[in-house]
Structure 1
Amino acid sequence: MLKAGVFLDIENLTRNGGWGMRYDAILELVETQGASVLRANAYMTVDRRRMEEDERYKAKIEQYHQVIRRTGFRLVLKQVKQFVDAEGNPRLAGSADLELAVEALMQAENLDYILLGSGDGDFLRLVKALQDRGKRVDILSFANCGDELRDEADHYFAGPLLPNLLPPREEEGTHRGFMHHVDEERGFGFLTVRTGYGKNDIRDDIFLHINEFSEEGEQINNTRFASLRDKRTIIEFDIEEQEGGRVRAVDAVEYQPSIAQRQTEND
């Protein structure tokens, strides 16, 4: 069994659609790859000055930290720095990226497999360095993952496509997938969805007709429909069972990461 380490860039994940993700599901994802998790580290910044001045904010942040720790993660906190910009406005800046990179390199000596949770292209050199040491390196991210980082990984996991990683959103579709085949002229395609965390846990026979996809409540043309495949757009939809075990996607829309909860946290 592979010895695994998990290193999560919390700021990057939550800023790009991962707010509310289940940390226990991330550990399950790693274990499904045939690995035993030896190290699980989560890196994030913290504004201790604001925590001292704002009891409500402090309570919310500490509660969030406890959620992460209860799932078995070691939380690595980096104090944000305050500065004044060119217009005289107070700003905050900070990143725990350096801590993540250093610890990943140091701890990799005793690991076979690393799951890096981040879409930050600055980690490209880290991924290559770990691979040069003979480690398998997979990437987990949500929106805005750098192309080079995604391509360099041994395997890339798109967070929104992993079942039960994100909380359900009742007002929108219950499934997420991407179009792997499209007939532009006739206006239909087939979707691939993940049914689990294993390599072969996929279903790729879900039929989608152009009339079942809309943008802002409006139908799209065939060229735009075909571009959904070319851009590997994540599509959110409901499933309608048909005779003979066939299924079709209905009420399909482009998946839009929800940032409402993250904005609430920052208030």
Structure 2
Amino acid sequence: MTTIKVGVYVDAENVLRCGGHGLRYDTLLDFILSQPGAVLQRACIYQGVDKERIQAEDLYRTSVHGFQRALRDGGWKIVEKPVRWFLQEDGSKIYKANADIDMTVDILTQARNLDRIILVTGDGDFTALVEELQNQGKRVEVLSFLNTALELQQSADQYYSGYLVPGLLPVRDAPAVPWGKPGSRIRGSCVHWDAAGHYGFIRFMRLESGGSLHLSDSRHPDSPYQSAFVAGSEIPKTFPQQYLAQRQAILEFDLFESDRDPDSFVARNCTVITSRYAA
């Protein structure tokens, strides 16, 4: 089997601001390395740290250092970016810990030893970096959550919504049933919608997602995906159903076996987690 050298770079501040709070970094690596031939070369997290709070607040210092120790134990390198505070006109303070330059320099320097690069960010400022890496012959993938720049998503060789990766983010109030088993609450996106019949199919990733992720047709024997039938009555009434087939809506739903076919699934009690559509 051909070895594929992988580098993973996480813009932690962007992840936290854009829906990724609670991201499980061990699950992230498991997902990325589940692809055939993948060998981890670099795993870097760019984290904003308030140096003044580190000195002044015991609780903050303990929290930051504990988080970093756990990540290092899991094979991650932590690159700290000092937080800078800015005073706004109304007297309030905002902070910035922009890691764009640090990440870009590191990735361009290390890219010669990598075949596949995964950026965990939704920041559109990285679009030019993606295109430069592709010009060097690298495969570049992007994983993010909310507020992903469309140009970044479209420039990547493959884009993943972090909401759809099994176990990457906890599902609130989920029953103690493994992802993808009947009775579990999981997430997926609609890949087919019949407007006349008011029904469709939601594609979701299996818990064991090893295999070729480009095999998006769940009917393929090597595909890591499965599908569930969904009736229009299970979709929130406030959501414009004509936009379901755009595949931008992330749906959270209860998974059940079909009454008609024990080898098939149905989705019930759907909620829309996030969506990008033009009303």
TM-score, reference length from structure 1: 0.87
Kindly provide the amino acid, as one letter, of the partner of residue 266 in structure 2: R
Asked whether the equivalents of residues 9 and 43 of structure 1 are also in contact (C-alpha less than 8 Å), the reply is yes
SS at match of 1:63: helix
The offset of 1:256, in angstroms, is 5.4
1:210–1:220 contact (8 Å) kept in structure 2: no
Is structure 2 residue 187 aligned with structure 1 residue 176? yes
Give the alignment partner of residue 77 of structure 1, picking from 56, 77, 80: 80
Letter in 2 for 1:227: Y
Residue in 1 aligned with 2:246?
A: 230
- State how 1:46-195 maps to structure 2 within 5 Å: 46-170=49-173, 174-195=185-206
SS state at 2:52 partner: helix
Match of 1:261 in 2: none
1:21 maps to: 23
Residues 87-130 of structure 1 show CA distances to partners (whole Å, capped at 9, x for unaligned) of: 34343222112111100000111111111111100000111111
Residue identity matched to 2:202: L
SS at match of 2:55: helix
Mapped to 1, the partners of 2:161 and 2:66 lie a distance apart of 27
Q: Distance in 2 between matches of 1:98 and 1:226?
A: 40
Structure 1 residue ranges, 4+ long, deviating more than 3 angstroms after superposition: 87-91
Q: Could you say which residue in structure 2 is the equivalent of 1:11? A: 13
Counterpart Cα distance in 2 of 1:180 and 1:90 = 43
SS in 2 for 1:18: coil
Q: How many residues align?
A: 250
Residue of structure 2 equivalent to 1:262: none
Is the contact made by 2:190 and 2:247 (CA closer than 8 Å) also made in structure 1?
Answer: no
- Which structure has the higher relative contact order (CA within 8 Å, separation 6+)? 1
Which of 207, 212, 229 is the aligned partner of 1:207?
Answer: 229
Work out the percentage of aligned pairs sharing the same amino acid.
35
> Match for 1:255: what amino acid?
I
Counterpart for residue 249 of structure 1: 267
Is the 1:162–1:197 contact (alpha carbons within 8 Å) kept by the matching residues of 2?
no
Tell me the equivalent position of 1:260.
none
Task: Give the letter aligned to residue 238 of structure 1.
Answer: D
C-alpha deviation, 1:232, in angstroms: 2.0
Tell me the SS of whatever aligns to 2:18: helix
| AA matched with 1:168 | V
- Deviates further, 171-180 or 125-134: 171-180
Using the alignment, how far apart are the partners of 2:159 and 2:243 within structure 1?
21
The answer for unaligned runs of 5 or more in structure 2 is 176-183, 214-222
Letter in 2 for 1:235: L
C-alpha displacement at 1:181, in angstroms? 1.0
Structure ranking higher in helix proportion? 1
Q: Structure 1: where are the runs of 5+ without partners?
A: 258-267
Q: What is the alpha-carbon distance in structure 2 between the residues aligned to residue 158 and residue 85 of structure 1?
A: 33
Q: CA deviation at 1:228?
A: 2.3
Change (3 A) 1:42 1:228: same
Q: In 2, are the aligned partners of 1:7 and 1:116 still within 8 Å (CA)?
A: yes
Q: Which moved more, 1:118-127 or 1:224-233?
A: 224-233
What's the counterpart of residue 240 of structure 1?
Answer: 256
Amino acid at match of 1:32: S
